[in-house]
Amino acid sequence: MIQAVGYATNHSFTDLKPLKFERDEAKPNEVTIDVMYCGVCHSDIHQAKNEWGNTVYPCMPGHEVVGRVSAVGSAVTRHKVGDMVGVGCMIDSCRQCAPCKEGDENYCEGPNSWLATYNGPMVPAKKAADEKNHYGRDNTYGGYSNVLVVAEDFALKIPAGLKPEAAAPLLCAGVTTYSPMKHWGVKAGSQVGIVGFGGLGDIAAKMAIAMGATVTIFTTSEEKLDEARRIGATGVPEENLKKEVDPTNPLTLSFDFILSTVPEKHDLNPFLPLLKRNATMVICGDLGPLMPVNNMQLASHRNGVAGSLIGNLADTQEVLNFCAEHGIAHEIEMLDIKDINDAYKAVEKGEVRYRYVIDMATLKAEDAD
């Protein structure tokens, strides 16, 4: 067993605090990682507070993990000791279903779906068709910790051109927005709308611009209009949009793709008239029930409203390489792990520009009980 320390909470209503725990030693196909940085994702907060109703406690969040390989199992070929690697939302999948065989591990259809970096399998035993847990672990502890052990193929390579701390948020926020843009064919010349300009919207806009798209950011924050301009996008106040078709709005029927990154329930109707014929609006910021949409509007231009969940391993490596190549990354604010509970409050208020990254060197074993 590896003696580890991290930050976790035992209840939906208590703060995260230091926790000593044990991790299994690396199996032959696994690598052990000394965690250096971990991004703070809005999902961490939803999960810590049981806002999706599926949290397993103790809950130790963190799925934007960057660190150095400190040990490798005997069968490992992809990584060696000293390599800088990243781990995103998944640490395993069934490896046998059609999506897994086709490289879409994030859409694993195995009985327990994929194994999340924290909070255990996406489908727990009690909800699985065979009522079993094929991963043998009901809970997993994420990257708010000093050490992580994962299967080698779920550890991505951090390219030399990326600062490791800035690479961390790409492992969830980056791939969550990159993957739908790739799937729905964003390319040079595309007109792309990004709704919400926080941790996801910031990187989505930068990547779309790097792909050669023209980007419009819809925001409710006056001050973010200038920030949009600064990265080369056009900022549009959301309140300028009408819920019905507005023939006087030059943006009507002008977008090839719109991505909503808003992390809560949000009215989509003002955006639908902006989609070109056959275009799709994808919701990647919120996983709850959508507000009703006017299907007359969708039907009139064969539009779609779709969901997208993180991205597969290949896309995760691709987004890291893409951002290294184009010299883009999140704006990040470094965080001492003892300030994590205050950071959660700031994320909930939308006060972060644009992603917190925990410097794991601030985690001290002696602080833990």
**Is there binding between residue 100 and Zn ion (CB under 5 A)?**
yes
**Closest approach of Cβ 235 to Zn ion, in Å?**
25
Of 26, 59, 94, 186, the one binding Zn ion by CB under 5 A: 94
**Is there binding between residue 110 and Zn ion (CB under 5 A)?**
yes
**Is there binding between residue 151 and Zn ion (CB under 5 A)?**
no
Range 311-330, binding Zn ion (CB under 5 A): none
**Is there binding between residue 192 and Zn ion (CB under 5 A)?**
no
Cα–Cα distance measured from residue 74 to residue 62, given in angstroms and rounded to the nearest whole number:
27
**Is there binding between residue 70 and Zn ion (CB under 5 A)?**
no
CA atoms within 13 A on the CB side of 129: 4
Nearest residue to Zn ion on Cβ basis: 41
**Closest approach of Cβ 64 to Zn ion, in Å?**
6
- Per DSSP, the residues of 144-176 read SBSEEEEEGGGSEE--TTS-HHHHGGGGTHHHH
φ, ψ (nearest 5 deg) of residue 89? -80, -20
Q: Cα 89 to chain center, whole Å?
A: 7
Beta-strand runs (E) in 82-146: 84-87, 90-92, 115-116
Structure tokens at 115: 């194994």
Cα–Cα distance measured from residue 225 to residue 298, given in angstroms and rounded to the nearest whole number:
28
Cα–Cα distance measured from residue 165 to residue 359, given in angstroms and rounded to the nearest whole number:
8
Range 21-50, binding Zn ion (CB under 5 A): 41, 43
**Closest approach of Cβ 211 to Zn ion, in Å?**
22
**Closest approach of Cβ 313 to Zn ion, in Å?**
12
**Is there binding between residue 108 and Zn ion (CB under 5 A)?**
yes
Nearer to Zn ion, 64 or 152 (CB): 64
Nearer to Zn ion, 58 or 110 (CB): 110
Nearer to Zn ion, 205 or 284 (CB): 284
Nearer to Zn ion, 172 or 268 (CB): 172
Binding span for Zn ion by CB under 5 A among 30-38, 50-58, 171-179, 275-283: 171-179
Nearer to Zn ion, 43 or 146 (CB): 43
Nearer to Zn ion, 150 or 251 (CB): 150
**Closest approach of Cβ 328 to Zn ion, in Å?**
19
Q: Element (H or E) spanning 342, and its range? A: helix 340-348
Q: Total number of residues binding Zn ion (CB under 5 A)?
A: 9
- The residues that bridge with 193 in the sheet, in sequence order, are 216, 258
Indicate the SS3 state at residue 179.
Answer: helix
**Is there binding between residue 172 and Zn ion (CB under 5 A)?**
yes
Structure tokens at 314: 């290949």
**Is there binding between residue 205 and Zn ion (CB under 5 A)?**
no
**Closest approach of Cβ 109 to Zn ion, in Å?**
6
**Closest approach of Cβ 91 to Zn ion, in Å?**
14
Binding span for Zn ion by CB under 5 A among 96-104, 123-131, 156-164, 315-323: 96-104
Nearer to Zn ion, 19 or 108 (CB): 108
CA atoms within 13 A on the CB side of 161: 11
Nearer to Zn ion, 67 or 110 (CB): 110
**Is there binding between residue 88 and Zn ion (CB under 5 A)?**
no
**Closest approach of Cβ 226 to Zn ion, in Å?**
27
Shortest CA distance to 168 belongs to which of 105, 231, 85?
85
Cα–Cα distance measured from residue 320 to residue 64, given in angstroms and rounded to the nearest whole number:
12
**Closest approach of Cβ 96 to Zn ion, in Å?**
6
Shortest CA distance to 196 belongs to which of 212, 176, 182?
176
Nearer to Zn ion, 54 or 294 (CB): 54
CA atoms within 13 A on the CB side of 159: 18
Q: At what angle do helices 173-183 and 313-326 cross, to 10 degrees?
A: 100
CA atoms within 13 A on the CB side of 149: 17
**Is there binding between residue 97 and Zn ion (CB under 5 A)?**
yes
For residue 75, how many other CB atoms are within 10 A of its CB? 10
Enumerate binding residues for Zn ion (CB under 5 A). Answer: 41, 43, 93-94, 97, 100, 108, 110, 172
